Structure 1
Protein backbone atom coordinates (compact mmCIF):
# COMPACT_ATOMS: atom_id res chain seq x y z
CA UNK A 1 0.00 0.00 0.00
CA UNK A 2 1.09 3.60 -0.50
CA UNK A 3 3.48 5.22 1.89
CA UNK A 4 6.07 7.98 1.62
CA UNK A 5 8.44 5.81 -0.44
CA UNK A 6 5.65 5.12 -2.91
CA UNK A 7 4.66 8.78 -3.32
CA UNK A 8 8.31 9.85 -3.66
CA UNK A 9 8.89 7.30 -6.41
CA UNK A 10 5.70 8.26 -8.22
CA UNK A 11 6.30 12.02 -7.85
CA UNK A 12 9.76 11.55 -9.33
CA UNK A 13 8.31 9.44 -12.14
CA UNK A 14 5.64 12.08 -12.74
CA UNK A 15 8.25 14.80 -13.21
CA UNK A 16 10.40 12.63 -15.48
CA UNK A 17 7.50 11.61 -17.69
CA UNK A 18 6.05 15.09 -17.97
CA UNK A 19 9.44 16.39 -19.07
CA UNK A 20 9.79 13.45 -21.47
CA UNK A 21 6.43 14.03 -23.15
CA UNK A 22 6.72 17.81 -23.15
CA UNK A 23 10.09 17.57 -24.90
CA UNK A 24 8.58 15.32 -27.56
CA UNK A 25 5.60 17.69 -27.91
CA UNK A 26 7.87 20.71 -28.36
CA UNK A 27 8.72 19.41 -31.82
CA UNK A 28 5.11 19.76 -32.94
CA UNK A 29 3.48 22.90 -34.28
CA UNK A 30 0.68 24.49 -32.24
CA UNK A 31 -1.82 23.15 -34.79
CA UNK A 32 -0.42 19.64 -34.36
CA UNK A 33 -0.64 19.94 -30.55
CA UNK A 34 -4.26 21.06 -30.83
CA UNK A 35 -5.35 18.59 -33.52
CA UNK A 36 -8.21 16.31 -32.49
CA UNK A 37 -6.70 12.83 -32.53
CA UNK A 38 -9.71 10.90 -31.24
CA UNK A 39 -8.51 10.52 -27.65
CA UNK A 40 -10.87 11.03 -24.72
CA UNK A 41 -10.03 14.75 -24.48
CA UNK A 42 -9.30 15.05 -28.19
CA UNK A 43 -5.88 16.59 -28.53
CA UNK A 44 -2.45 16.37 -26.98
CA UNK A 45 -2.82 19.87 -25.57
CA UNK A 46 -6.29 19.30 -24.11
CA UNK A 47 -5.11 16.09 -22.46
CA UNK A 48 -2.07 17.83 -20.95
CA UNK A 49 -4.41 20.55 -19.68
CA UNK A 50 -6.75 18.04 -18.06
CA UNK A 51 -3.87 16.30 -16.27
CA UNK A 52 -2.66 19.65 -14.96
CA UNK A 53 -6.12 20.55 -13.65
CA UNK A 54 -6.62 17.15 -11.98
CA UNK A 55 -3.16 17.24 -10.38
CA UNK A 56 -3.92 20.69 -8.97
CA UNK A 57 -7.27 19.44 -7.65
CA UNK A 58 -5.77 16.41 -5.89
CA UNK A 59 -2.89 18.42 -4.45
CA UNK A 60 -5.44 20.95 -3.18
CA UNK A 61 -7.31 18.13 -1.46
CA UNK A 62 -4.12 16.62 -0.02
CA UNK A 63 -2.37 19.74 1.20
CA UNK A 64 -4.56 22.81 0.85
CA UNK A 65 -2.78 24.38 -2.13
CA UNK A 66 -4.99 26.69 -4.21
CA UNK A 67 -7.93 24.98 -5.89
CA UNK A 68 -7.82 25.10 -9.67
CA UNK A 69 -10.33 27.32 -11.38
CA UNK A 70 -13.29 25.84 -13.16
CA UNK A 71 -14.81 22.42 -13.32
CA UNK A 72 -13.98 19.18 -15.07
CA UNK A 73 -15.43 20.52 -18.31
CA UNK A 74 -13.09 23.53 -18.04
CA UNK A 75 -10.08 21.31 -17.34
CA UNK A 76 -9.17 21.00 -21.02
CA UNK A 77 -8.84 24.74 -21.62
CA UNK A 78 -6.07 25.84 -19.23
CA UNK A 79 -3.39 26.21 -21.88
CA UNK A 80 -3.15 29.58 -23.56
CA UNK A 81 0.56 30.04 -24.07
CA UNK A 82 2.58 26.82 -24.45
CA UNK A 83 5.71 28.20 -22.75
CA UNK A 84 3.67 29.43 -19.77
CA UNK A 85 1.99 26.04 -19.53
CA UNK A 86 5.38 24.30 -19.50
CA UNK A 87 6.52 26.57 -16.65
CA UNK A 88 3.31 25.97 -14.69
CA UNK A 89 3.61 22.21 -15.23
CA UNK A 90 7.19 22.28 -13.97
CA UNK A 91 6.23 24.26 -10.87
CA UNK A 92 3.36 21.91 -10.11
CA UNK A 93 5.61 18.88 -10.53
CA UNK A 94 7.95 20.52 -8.01
CA UNK A 95 5.05 21.04 -5.60
CA UNK A 96 3.97 17.41 -5.92
CA UNK A 97 7.53 16.28 -5.28
CA UNK A 98 7.86 18.60 -2.28
CA UNK A 99 4.57 17.28 -0.88
CA UNK A 100 5.91 13.74 -1.31
CA UNK A 101 9.08 14.65 0.61
CA UNK A 102 7.12 16.34 3.38
CA UNK A 103 4.15 14.01 3.84
CA UNK A 104 4.14 12.23 7.18
CA UNK A 105 3.55 8.52 7.57
CA UNK A 106 0.36 9.14 9.55
CA UNK A 107 -1.13 11.14 6.64
CA UNK A 108 -1.81 7.83 4.88
CA UNK A 109 -4.06 6.63 7.70
CA UNK A 110 -7.76 7.29 7.66
CA UNK A 111 -9.96 8.81 5.01
CA UNK A 112 -9.89 11.92 2.89
CA UNK A 113 -13.18 13.81 2.62
CA UNK A 114 -14.01 16.10 -0.27
CA UNK A 115 -16.97 17.35 -2.23
CA UNK A 116 -16.93 16.51 -5.90
CA UNK A 117 -18.24 19.21 -8.21
CA UNK A 118 -18.64 16.61 -10.93
CA UNK A 119 -20.68 14.17 -8.85
CA UNK A 120 -22.32 16.90 -6.72
CA UNK A 121 -21.77 14.96 -3.52
CA UNK A 122 -19.32 14.38 -0.73
CA UNK A 123 -16.83 11.52 -0.86
CA UNK A 124 -14.82 9.83 1.84
CA UNK A 125 -12.17 7.35 0.76
CA UNK A 126 -9.00 5.93 2.25
CA UNK A 127 -6.08 8.27 1.67
CA UNK A 128 -4.04 5.30 0.46
CA UNK A 129 -6.58 4.86 -2.34
CA UNK A 130 -6.89 8.47 -3.43
CA UNK A 131 -3.13 8.98 -3.53
CA UNK A 132 -2.95 6.02 -5.91
CA UNK A 133 -5.67 7.72 -7.95
CA UNK A 134 -3.50 10.83 -8.38
CA UNK A 135 -0.64 8.86 -9.90
CA UNK A 136 -2.77 6.32 -11.79
CA UNK A 137 -4.75 9.12 -13.42
CA UNK A 138 -1.58 10.86 -14.60
CA UNK A 139 -0.15 7.65 -16.03
CA UNK A 140 -3.39 6.78 -17.81
CA UNK A 141 -3.65 10.10 -19.61
CA UNK A 142 0.08 10.35 -20.31
CA UNK A 143 -0.29 6.99 -22.06
CA UNK A 144 -2.89 8.62 -24.31
CA UNK A 145 -0.51 11.51 -24.98
CA UNK A 146 2.30 9.07 -25.77
CA UNK A 147 0.08 7.30 -28.33
CA UNK A 148 -0.96 10.61 -29.91
CA UNK A 149 2.65 11.78 -30.08
CA UNK A 150 3.75 8.53 -31.69
CA UNK A 151 0.95 8.82 -34.25
CA UNK A 152 2.08 12.39 -34.95
CA UNK A 153 5.61 11.17 -35.69
CA UNK A 154 7.20 12.35 -32.43
CA UNK A 155 9.46 10.03 -30.48
CA UNK A 156 9.01 10.21 -26.71
CA UNK A 157 11.68 8.54 -24.61
CA UNK A 158 11.39 5.54 -22.32
CA UNK A 159 8.45 5.31 -19.93
CA UNK A 160 9.25 2.31 -17.74
CA UNK A 161 10.18 2.95 -14.10
CA UNK A 162 13.38 0.85 -14.24
CA UNK A 163 14.73 3.26 -16.87
CA UNK A 164 14.18 6.41 -14.81
CA UNK A 165 17.44 8.37 -14.96
CA UNK A 166 19.29 8.82 -11.67
CA UNK A 167 18.79 12.60 -11.85
CA UNK A 168 15.06 11.98 -11.30
CA UNK A 169 15.32 8.90 -9.09
CA UNK A 170 17.14 10.82 -6.38
CA UNK A 171 15.32 14.17 -6.60
Structure 2
Protein backbone atom coordinates (compact mmCIF):
# COMPACT_ATOMS: atom_id res chain seq x y z
CA UNK A 1 0.00 0.00 0.00
CA UNK A 2 2.74 2.48 1.00
CA UNK A 3 6.49 2.28 1.44
CA UNK A 4 9.01 3.60 3.94
CA UNK A 5 10.20 6.02 1.21
CA UNK A 6 6.66 7.44 0.95
CA UNK A 7 6.57 7.96 4.72
CA UNK A 8 9.98 9.67 4.75
CA UNK A 9 8.91 11.97 1.91
CA UNK A 10 5.64 12.86 3.62
CA UNK A 11 7.42 13.47 6.93
CA UNK A 12 9.83 15.89 5.18
CA UNK A 13 6.86 17.54 3.45
CA UNK A 14 5.15 17.93 6.84
CA UNK A 15 8.23 19.61 8.33
CA UNK A 16 8.66 21.90 5.32
CA UNK A 17 5.01 22.94 5.25
CA UNK A 18 4.86 23.55 9.00
CA UNK A 19 7.89 25.84 8.58
CA UNK A 20 5.95 27.72 5.92
CA UNK A 21 3.00 28.04 8.31
CA UNK A 22 5.26 29.31 11.11
CA UNK A 23 6.65 32.02 8.84
CA UNK A 24 3.17 33.08 7.73
CA UNK A 25 1.82 33.05 11.28
CA UNK A 26 4.75 35.22 12.42
CA UNK A 27 3.45 37.99 10.15
CA UNK A 28 0.25 38.38 12.17
CA UNK A 29 -0.37 39.63 15.70
CA UNK A 30 -1.48 37.04 18.25
CA UNK A 31 -5.00 38.52 18.25
CA UNK A 32 -5.33 37.67 14.54
CA UNK A 33 -4.12 34.12 15.16
CA UNK A 34 -6.68 33.55 17.92
CA UNK A 35 -9.60 35.36 16.27
CA UNK A 36 -12.67 33.23 15.61
CA UNK A 37 -12.85 32.54 11.86
CA UNK A 38 -15.73 30.10 11.60
CA UNK A 39 -13.46 27.11 11.04
CA UNK A 40 -14.19 23.78 12.69
CA UNK A 41 -11.47 24.48 15.28
CA UNK A 42 -12.23 28.21 15.39
CA UNK A 43 -9.06 30.14 14.76
CA UNK A 44 -5.75 29.80 12.98
CA UNK A 45 -4.05 28.85 16.23
CA UNK A 46 -6.94 26.57 17.23
CA UNK A 47 -6.64 24.66 13.98
CA UNK A 48 -2.83 24.54 14.24
CA UNK A 49 -3.22 23.20 17.78
CA UNK A 50 -5.67 20.54 16.61
CA UNK A 51 -3.26 19.47 13.88
CA UNK A 52 -0.44 19.20 16.41
CA UNK A 53 -2.76 17.28 18.74
CA UNK A 54 -3.68 14.85 15.95
CA UNK A 55 -0.05 14.27 15.04
CA UNK A 56 0.84 13.59 18.66
CA UNK A 57 -2.10 11.22 19.03
CA UNK A 58 -1.17 9.23 15.92
CA UNK A 59 2.52 9.20 16.80
CA UNK A 60 1.66 7.89 20.28
CA UNK A 61 0.10 4.92 18.50
CA UNK A 62 3.04 4.46 16.12
CA UNK A 63 5.97 5.16 18.46
CA UNK A 64 6.98 6.32 21.93
CA UNK A 65 5.62 9.88 21.57
CA UNK A 66 3.49 10.78 24.58
CA UNK A 67 -0.16 11.20 23.71
CA UNK A 68 -1.77 14.60 24.31
CA UNK A 69 -3.05 15.29 27.79
CA UNK A 70 -6.30 16.79 26.44
CA UNK A 71 -9.20 15.33 24.48
CA UNK A 72 -10.02 16.07 20.85
CA UNK A 73 -12.67 18.54 22.03
CA UNK A 74 -9.98 20.49 23.89
CA UNK A 75 -7.36 20.15 21.13
CA UNK A 76 -7.80 23.71 19.90
CA UNK A 77 -6.47 24.93 23.27
CA UNK A 78 -3.41 22.66 23.37
CA UNK A 79 -1.00 25.65 23.38
CA UNK A 80 -2.10 29.10 24.55
CA UNK A 81 0.25 31.07 22.25
CA UNK A 82 1.75 30.74 18.81
CA UNK A 83 5.27 30.65 20.27
CA UNK A 84 4.34 27.70 22.51
CA UNK A 85 2.76 25.98 19.49
CA UNK A 86 5.85 26.69 17.38
CA UNK A 87 8.20 25.05 19.90
CA UNK A 88 6.01 21.95 20.21
CA UNK A 89 5.52 21.75 16.45
CA UNK A 90 9.27 21.93 15.81
CA UNK A 91 10.00 19.14 18.29
CA UNK A 92 7.27 16.85 17.00
CA UNK A 93 8.20 17.37 13.35
CA UNK A 94 11.70 16.16 14.15
CA UNK A 95 10.29 13.09 15.90
CA UNK A 96 8.03 12.31 12.94
CA UNK A 97 10.98 12.53 10.54
CA UNK A 98 13.15 10.27 12.70
CA UNK A 99 10.33 7.74 12.99
CA UNK A 100 9.67 7.76 9.23
CA UNK A 101 13.35 7.42 8.38
CA UNK A 102 13.64 4.34 10.61
CA UNK A 103 10.72 2.45 9.02
CA UNK A 104 11.12 -0.83 7.18
CA UNK A 105 8.51 -2.32 4.84
CA UNK A 106 7.49 -4.88 7.46
CA UNK A 107 6.71 -2.04 9.90
CA UNK A 108 3.87 -0.94 7.63
CA UNK A 109 2.10 -4.30 7.65
CA UNK A 110 -0.49 -5.72 9.98
CA UNK A 111 -3.22 -3.96 11.86
CA UNK A 112 -3.41 -1.28 14.52
CA UNK A 113 -6.01 -1.38 17.28
CA UNK A 114 -6.79 1.58 19.53
CA UNK A 115 -9.65 3.16 21.43
CA UNK A 116 -10.77 6.22 19.50
CA UNK A 117 -12.12 9.11 21.53
CA UNK A 118 -13.43 10.64 18.29
CA UNK A 119 -15.81 7.74 17.60
CA UNK A 120 -16.06 6.42 21.17
CA UNK A 121 -15.06 2.80 20.54
CA UNK A 122 -12.23 0.42 19.75
CA UNK A 123 -11.07 0.58 16.14
CA UNK A 124 -8.87 -1.83 14.17
CA UNK A 125 -7.47 -0.74 10.81
CA UNK A 126 -4.54 -1.67 8.59
CA UNK A 127 -1.42 -0.01 9.99
CA UNK A 128 -0.45 1.47 6.60
CA UNK A 129 -3.91 3.05 6.24
CA UNK A 130 -3.49 4.71 9.65
CA UNK A 131 -0.12 6.14 8.61
CA UNK A 132 -1.65 7.42 5.36
CA UNK A 133 -4.47 8.98 7.38
CA UNK A 134 -2.01 10.87 9.58
CA UNK A 135 -0.32 12.43 6.55
CA UNK A 136 -3.69 13.15 4.89
CA UNK A 137 -5.01 14.73 8.11
CA UNK A 138 -1.94 17.00 8.17
CA UNK A 139 -2.50 18.16 4.60
CA UNK A 140 -6.21 18.71 5.17
CA UNK A 141 -5.79 20.96 8.20
CA UNK A 142 -2.76 22.81 6.81
CA UNK A 143 -4.97 23.68 3.83
CA UNK A 144 -7.53 25.19 6.21
CA UNK A 145 -4.81 27.13 8.03
CA UNK A 146 -3.33 28.33 4.74
CA UNK A 147 -6.73 29.66 3.64
CA UNK A 148 -7.27 31.46 6.97
CA UNK A 149 -3.77 32.97 6.86
CA UNK A 150 -4.32 34.20 3.31
CA UNK A 151 -7.69 35.70 4.25
CA UNK A 152 -6.04 37.44 7.23
CA UNK A 153 -3.49 39.08 4.91
CA UNK A 154 -0.42 36.94 5.57
CA UNK A 155 1.89 36.11 2.70
CA UNK A 156 1.93 32.33 2.35
CA UNK A 157 4.29 30.04 0.49
CA UNK A 158 3.80 27.31 -2.09
CA UNK A 159 2.28 24.05 -0.89
CA UNK A 160 2.99 21.84 -3.91
CA UNK A 161 4.90 18.68 -3.02
CA UNK A 162 6.97 18.76 -6.20
CA UNK A 163 8.51 22.14 -5.29
CA UNK A 164 9.63 20.97 -1.84
CA UNK A 165 13.37 21.51 -1.51
CA UNK A 166 15.11 18.22 -2.31
CA UNK A 167 11.97 16.62 -3.79
CA UNK A 168 13.53 15.76 -7.12
Give yes or no for the alignment of 1:147 onto 2:143: no
1:103 offset after TM fit, Å? 1.6
Which residue matches 1:22?
22
Give yes or no for the alignment of 1:68 onto 2:68: yes
1:81 offset after TM fit, Å? 3.2
Taking structure 1 as the reference length, the TM-score comes to 0.94
1:158 offset after TM fit, Å? 0.6
Unaligned runs of 5+ in 1: none
Q: Partner of 1:69: helix, strand, or coil?
A: coil
| Count of aligned residue pairs for this structure pair | 168
d(CA) in 1 for partners of 2:65 and 2:151? 36
Taking structure 2 as the reference length, the TM-score comes to 0.96
Dislocated runs of 4+, deviation >3 Å:
none
d(CA) in 2 for partners of 1:41 and 1:68? 17
Give yes or no for the alignment of 1:91 onto 2:87: no
1:80 offset after TM fit, Å? 1.8
1:22 offset after TM fit, Å? 1.1
